[in-house]
Homo-oligomer: A and B are copies of this chain.
Amino acid sequence: MSEVHVSRRARLRERCAAQDGPAGAALVTRPANIRYLTGCAPAGPAALLLSPEPRDVLLVPPGTAVSVPDESLRGCVLPATGGEPAVGAAELAARAGARSLAVEEHHLTVARHRALAAAAPRLRLTGLACAVEQQRLVKDEEEIAALRDAAEMTDQALGELLESILVGRTERHLALELDRRLVDHGAEGPAFPTSVATGSHAGIPGHRPTDRRVEEGDFLSVCLGARHLGYGCQVGRTFVVGTAPAAWQVELYDLVFAAQRAGREALLPGAEYGAVDRASRQVLEAAGYADGLRTGVGHGVGLEIREDPRLCPAAMGKLDACVPVTVEPGVHLPGRGGVRIDDTLVVRPQADGGPELLTITTKELLAL
């Protein structure tokens, strides 16, 4: 991955030079951005300094062990002498002759920003905006391969759960079992807290597992995803437990399935973010579930499980090829339960067969 990281940093450096001139340095503090640019994932708060000279430096809290996959950074991972990586980086930039330092204002706290200004008073602090997040939007094939593997692990873990006996077990235990199975299949761990929701809880987005036990006739909705090489995916499915589903369950399921399909089919290069959301939302609204999609139909995935783009009504922008996103509509009927169906897909041109589905667990309504 060494070359990849070098070229990612070169791209960011170019952008900074265009903005602040040749004496401009940049400071990256958001952990996912540091990982994207270096391959390193230090345990504590770290700071990556791109200074005018070619040697980039990653400052970490003293005593932090960091594995450095990128040869170009060997010997450039240093403990921050004052204990504060961002402050140490500002001092280093000033000593290296930088005139300005572009910082991630959406990540740096007010207090730390002030400490930076005090530590390097001659340095003009500017904003890096979301430059690295924008670079992260379109994935290369190596990143997509990591997501594809993560999805395979997730499908396997979910598939095994479906073969086990569910009635009488608690949401909490089912969630822990899914986590264990993710790791069994090679995941670094869950990419986000695994959600298992039964009965009246089913269909609540982000439901935190409780001690409620699975009962015959319940809707059971699960949402999980493996993290692999730092990349996380997301799959969500809803099942009926035990007997054949009731008529209202089939009806609700078919509706959410139709909304999810409409969203998936809208995923094409050039499609507006809001249009994907609208495609799915219209199906639910036409059936009288205007409240179904509260915050948007999906979002990007990558080194963070919820990253740009946001597929919601207010989002501005158009999809590119090679952008992985979720499509995850749902409906929850208070007191009765509900349905969610989540997939992770990669946007691909129609000529290449359209969106690539990474999470291939069946979306039939299974009675378990």
Contact = CB atoms under 8 A, between A and B. Distances in A.
A281 to B, nearest CB: 14
A63 B332 CA distance: 12
A168 B18 CA distance: 56
A176 B172 contact: no
A109 B111 contact: no
A109 B180 CA distance: 36
A295 B62 contact: yes
Contact of A183 (B83, B176, B208, B314): B176
A3 to B, nearest CB: 27
Which of A65, A110, A173 has the most CB atoms of chain B within a 10 A radius of its CB? A110
A76 interface: no
Contacts of A294: 62-63
A74 interface: no
A204 B105 contact: no
16 contacts: A61-B295, A62-B294, A62-B295, A63-B205, A65-B204, A83-B314, A103-B110, A105-B110, A106-B110, A106-B111, A108-B110, A109-B110, A110-B113, A172-B183, A176-B176, A179-B179
Contacts of A290: none
A295 B63 contact: yes
A95 interface: no
Interface of A: 43, 61-63, 65, 83, 103, 105-114, 172-173, 176, 179-180, 183, 204-206, 208, 294-295, 314
Given A83-B314, A105-B110, A109-B109, 13 more contacts: A61-B295, A62-B295, A63-B205, A63-B294, A63-B295, A103-B110, A106-B111, A108-B109, A109-B110, A110-B110, A172-B183, A176-B176, A180-B180
A314 B179 CA distance: 40
Which of A106, A108, A173, A183 has the most CB atoms of chain B within a 10 A radius of its CB? A183
Contacts of A108: 109-110
A214 to B, nearest CB: 16
A114 to B, nearest CB: 7
Given A107-B109, A108-B109, A110-B105, A183 B173 contact: yes
Shortest Cβ-Cβ A-B pairs, 6 listed = A63-B294, A105-B110, A106-B111, A105-B111, A176-B180, A110-B113
Contacts of A43: 206, 208
A176 B105 CA distance: 37
Contacts of A107: 109
Contacts of A179: 176, 179
Contacts of A61: 295
Nearest to A314: B83
A65 B65 CA distance: 39
Contact of A109 (B65, B83, B105): B105
A43 B114 CA distance: 29
A84 to B, nearest CB: 12
Which of A107, A109, A113 has the most CB atoms of chain B within a 10 A radius of its CB? A109
Nearest to A107: B109
A134 to B, nearest CB: 15
Contacts of A83: 314
